Structure 1
């Protein structure tokens, strides 16, 4: 490892951030002019745009013969999207989950995560696996756009923080930002892959761990920026839709498309099959009861997600360096932290389900009283 590798990583991250910002602005403007709701913009357009860094990194890693980095980048990004980005967003402002997300999009995210785990069990993502993953993404995209067009509402003119109307971005500028963003993402991803692989080799850390941590955080920065900007503008639908949609795109496009393009497929490291892929599925499933109970991700749930991500990252670092504290850390996580989290989620879910049932019973009783006032 030398100073040039560090410069490559830093420059790659900066280009990814700049490219992601340009891509998001251009894509959002083009989609808004077509008349798509903010939720669908987040689920489809912005998600596709913010998944471009992961796609560029994955393709670059496969070309460089680093399949661990390719798979780790996607798996780590999906875990980070839910635990870190959704968690930080909920800490900033509790996230209201729309019923469409709970009834359709989050189950699709869980379903495509299960599919990824299943097709990875043989240690390789081949052509058929890529077709299945990409097909799931295409079906979700088509259904989302059809539903979104039906529910389209007229959006008010954009305003700046002072409340004054902003001049709409012309289409030519939006298209230019889109193209420029893609170019910056591709260049930034290549620099990031080169620098990260060199650093990993110098430190003796596997490319899988580098992909799960440094590269995954770097390629997830556009999602974080998009979610925070959306929250500041009051677009909570865009913030949540961006995260859920990005996870679907990461699996369907970022892993599915390269598996189709490269004839030999993408090798899946045994360590990812044993630990990281099940954790990816667990984080997707964990969002279901939280989204279902009251359709809100509360601040304390956001803190819980962030702490779980920190614990997972700490485990990866300790395991990769074979630190003496690994055994004690693992014991604490397995026998104290994870059971406590499970009990808490079960208790909260049971309480919220009871509250929902109570409200439904009260509403039904009120309707009966209105229909038969003489019986009350």
Structure 2
């Protein structure tokens, strides 16, 4: 068991580091190729920070661990809002300025309701996964269209400030390739160790996906959001959460449907999905705020953290941990 725990820690650390290197390499490469900062921020960085969830879900699904893959997608969304956004706002209150983000949050709610409609029968099949993948492609195309027609949005300047400008093409491609290789390897290590630990303690793959794996794969978003907030790039901090949750629901959730179709744990629709919907609704109300003072305060961030702690405690109690 000691070897498994060490492997889990190594997998998590490598996953976070390699995701960061992958995003840096991809962003620098895209910048050298002349792609606009807004497109880089929305597409390259958005998919890059969701790469850990996608790879972990793909590996788990191919190994027949669909519960871990589903738990990873839902757990990451819950973690992104309640833990990451809550902790970031607790440290640094966040101002919401970007028109782009205010439009993305309602879209996130619509996508979540659509996902609930697809899975309400307790089954995640190939057709469900295919529909989610088409939705994923549609969201990407929509974001690219908006990027082209959203000149002057406050988030564009923030994205531009984050793009590496002093990196040559060889270095950029080198970090991109190294990050991708280590992402795949660390995701494989993380899935193996997480499943082994779950079986040792008698936990379901779903529970381990909702907790340990979800927190681990969400660490890149945590690092990106806190770093952006410290630089006063509040729209990026919030946009990381919105974009990642959209990609998780459509891209990550589609993977087990396509690779490992079948029934899902009943607790997903009765417990975890409603919690995700509730948190997203709270996120929407908080981020919108009064029309002239949209702000996520420390008090609101602390409230989100309290909800997350209560949710994890309930999972532990329900699983018989205490």
TM-score (ref. length: structure 1): 0.77
Q: CA deviation at 1:30?
A: 3.5
User: Matches of residues 317-336 of structure 1 in structure 2 within 5 Å?
Assistant: 317-321=316-320, 323=322
1:87-133 superposed Cα distances (whole Å, 9 cap, x missing partner): 1111222222222212x211111111112212112222222212221
Q: CA deviation at 1:79?
A: 0.3
1:201-222 superposed Cα distances (whole Å, 9 cap, x missing partner): 1111111111111110000001
1:286 paired with 2:266, answer no
Q: Judge conservation of contact 1:12–1:189 (CA < 8 Å) in 2.
A: yes
Q: CA deviation at 1:147?
A: 1.8
Larger radius of gyration, structure 1 or 2?
1
1:154-189 superposed Cα distances (whole Å, 9 cap, x missing partner): 8599889xxxxx861123322222222121111111
Partner of 1:49: 48
Q: CA deviation at 1:16?
A: 0.3
1:136 paired with 2:135, answer yes
Q: CA deviation at 1:152?
A: 4.5
Q: Secondary structure at the match of 1:169?
A: coil
In structure 1, list runs of 5 or more residues that go unmatched: 161-165, 324-376
- The 1:125/1:158 distance shift into structure 2, 3 A limit, reads closer
| Distance (Å, rounded) in 2 between the aligned partners of 1:292 and 1:213 | 29
Q: Judge conservation of contact 2:14–2:186 (CA < 8 Å) in 1.
A: yes
Partner of 2:210: 212
Aligned residues: 313
1:182 paired with 2:180, answer yes
Partner of 2:28: 29
| Distance (Å, rounded) in 1 between the aligned partners of 2:23 and 2:270 | 35
Q: Judge conservation of contact 2:57–2:69 (CA < 8 Å) in 1.
A: yes
Q: CA deviation at 1:136?
A: 2.0
Q: Judge conservation of contact 2:41–2:159 (CA < 8 Å) in 1.
A: no
| Distance (Å, rounded) in 1 between the aligned partners of 2:46 and 2:158 | 23
| Distance (Å, rounded) in 1 between the aligned partners of 2:8 and 2:159 | 39
Greater relative contact order: 1 or 2 (C-alpha under 8 angstroms, separation 6 or more)?
2
Q: CA deviation at 1:29?
A: 2.5
Out of 147-156 and 312-321, give the one that drifted further. 147-156
1:267-299 superposed Cα distances (whole Å, 9 cap, x missing partner): 321111210011112111221111111322111
Q: Secondary structure at the match of 2:166?
A: coil
Q: Judge conservation of contact 1:37–1:151 (CA < 8 Å) in 2.
A: no
Q: Secondary structure at the match of 2:121?
A: coil
Q: CA deviation at 1:306?
A: 0.8
Q: Secondary structure at the match of 2:314?
A: helix
- The 1:94/1:189 distance shift into structure 2, 3 A limit, reads same
Partner of 2:169: 171
Q: CA deviation at 1:322?
A: 5.9
| Distance (Å, rounded) in 2 between the aligned partners of 1:94 and 1:44 | 26
